[in-house]
Amino acid sequence: MLSLYSSLLLTSVLAVGLFFFIRSSVKERPATLRLSVSSAHLPQRIGQHLQYRGYKIVRVDENRETVIFEGKVRFSVALLILLCVLSGIGVACLELVLSIQLAEKWQAHWNLLGIVIAITATGVFYAHGASRMEQVKLVAQPQDQLLIIGHRDELAHLQRSLNLVGELS
């Protein structure tokens, strides 16, 4: 009987961890990319790349030498599938432990219903939370430096696509 309670405790702790993992999947992850501008065409190439990705210029501040791009970011289908599978497995494990603990009170049709609800809720939560407006700021710095502030994944993609050498933090 003690092993059943410990299994319930461990499964509950894993369910809490899964909940926070799913919740953190929609958090904003701002990052900064610091580049040394070796060519006068680099800011134009970055602007063209961002516009190709669906970003539009929303503000240009010539005094602070800043250009702000804004665009709607889509959610990752692969991450959506992963999160739905993980939530389905997590709820199935929790229901298995509960069905063993509460054998006489637990009915089997609740298992499938709980899994379907968990998968649907996770998918809707992630798709709604991850689809949002993002901003990318280009800020000219002294000594031919360019500072790009935006979402970490977008900056990493920008760095890979344009073969930029810079410090991402």
Q: What is the pLDDT of residue 106?
A: 66
pLDDT at position 144 is: 80
Phi and psi at 80, nearest 5°, equal: -60, -45
Indicate the residue type of 49. H
Task: Show pLDDT as tens, one digit a residue, over the chain (169 residues).
Answer: 667 778 778 888 988 999 999 999 888 888 988 888 777 778 888 888 888 888 998 988 877 788 899 998 888 899 999 999 999 999 888 888 878 777 776 666 667 888 999 999 999 999 999 888 889 998 888 888 888 899 888 888 888 888 887 777 8
Q: Is 77 helix (H, G, I), strand (E, B) or coil?
A: helix
CA distance 68 to 153: 17
pTM above 0.85, yes or no: no
Q: CA–CA separation, 131 vs 8, rounded Å?
A: 35
Q: Please enumerate in sequence order all residues whose Cβ is within 8 A of that of 149, keeping only pairs 6 or more positions apart, or say none.
A: 30, 31, 32, 33, 136, 137, 139
For the chain, domain boundaries: 2-168
Give tens-digit pLDDT for 94-127: 888 878 777 776 666 667 888 999 999 999 999 9
Closest to 151 (Cα-Cα) out of 54, 17, 80, 19: 54
